[in-house]
């Protein structure tokens, strides 16, 4: 089945300043792969039978990478709303814990929240079997661990010594460094859609994604 994702601005490769962008652009997805990227009118004419998801005044980019995955999923605890202790990660709450069930449940909630920020790739490695299972079932791409350099002036390149690992890569990285991969014909269809400000900025607004597509599947949509 073909799906055509339309947005006011499509940025196929924000990491490359020479890459083209498409105002009123679209991404055509067949199965789990990108079939085409380009101007919406051209792609709509070429694929008249495609289902259209129109995201309106938004920017569509490759999915994001979370470089704090190991810390966020194996050290910080992601509460269940039924616990009544809020929704924010509890820093280092899992340190010293041996309960694999608790690790797995926390990781699943953390991964779901990452999807809400447009994350499609997460840095490991993961030592806990329950966390590895949760990540594998989520469909997110697992990246090698990234180590921060001491005294680095640019945050977000790997786990920090203290503080919770942020779930939103755009809280610590510019878009050009936060994206994972690019959108091109034949590549896996991993991308995110973000709101933009009223002044027409090409950058996504903070606070999470409008939608996240992982391997061609719509895995998150903001309500």
Per-residue confidence in pLDDT tens, the chain, 223 aa: 899 999 999 999 999 999 999 999 999 999 999 999 999 999 999 999 999 999 999 999 999 999 999 999 999 999 988 888 888 899 999 999 999 999 999 999 999 999 999 999 999 999 999 999 999 999 999 998 765 433 344 444 444 444 556 899 998 899 999 999 999 999 999 999 999 876 556 678 778 999 999 999 999 999 8
Cα 219-14-62 angle, rounded to 5 deg = 15
Domain limits of the chain? 2-63+181-221, 66-171
Among residues 64, 61, 62, 65, the alpha carbon closest in space to that of 8 is found at 61
Beta bridge partners of 167: none
Three-class SS state of 166: coil
pLDDT at 196: 87
Tell me what pLDDT residue 204 has.
85
Q: Which two tokens stand for residue 146?
A: 């990234």
Tokens representing 191? 């991308």
Q: What is the pLDDT of residue 162?
A: 46
Q: Report in angstroms the alpha-carbon separations of 115 from 41, 125, 200.
A: 29, 19, 25
pTM here is: 0.89
How is domain 2-63+181-221 classified at the CATH fold level? Answer: Urease, subunit C; domain 1 (2.30.40)
Identify the pLDDT of residue 154. 45
């Amino acid at each position: 089945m073909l799906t055509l994702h339309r947005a006011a601005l499509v940025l196929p490769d924000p990491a490359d300043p020479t890459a083209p962008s498409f105002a009123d652009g679209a991404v055509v997805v067949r199965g789990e792969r990108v079939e085409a990227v380009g101007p919406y009118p051209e792609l709509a004419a070429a694929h008249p039978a495609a289902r259209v998801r129109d995201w309106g005044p938004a920017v569509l980019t490759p999915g994001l990478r979370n470089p704090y995955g190991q810390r966020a999923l194996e050290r910080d605890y992601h509460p269940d709303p039924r616990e009544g202790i809020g929704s924010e990660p509890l820093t280092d709450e899992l340190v010293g814990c041996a309960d694999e069930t608790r690790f797995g449940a926390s990781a699943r909630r953390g991964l779901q929240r990452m999807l809400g920020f447009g994350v499609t790739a997460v840095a490991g490695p993961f030592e806990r079997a329950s966390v590895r299972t949760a990540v594998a079932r989520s469909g997110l791409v697992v990246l090698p661990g990234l180590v921060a350099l001491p005294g680095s002036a640019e945050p977000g390149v790997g786990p920090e010594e203290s503080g919770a690992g942020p779930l939103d890569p755009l809280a610590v990285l510019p878009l050009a460094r936060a994206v994972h991969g690019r959108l091109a014909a034949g590549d896996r269809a991993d991308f995110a859609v973000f709101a933009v400000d009223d002044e027409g900025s090409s950058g996504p607004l903070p606070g999470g994604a409008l939608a996240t597509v992982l391997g061609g599947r719509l895995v998150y949509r903001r309500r």
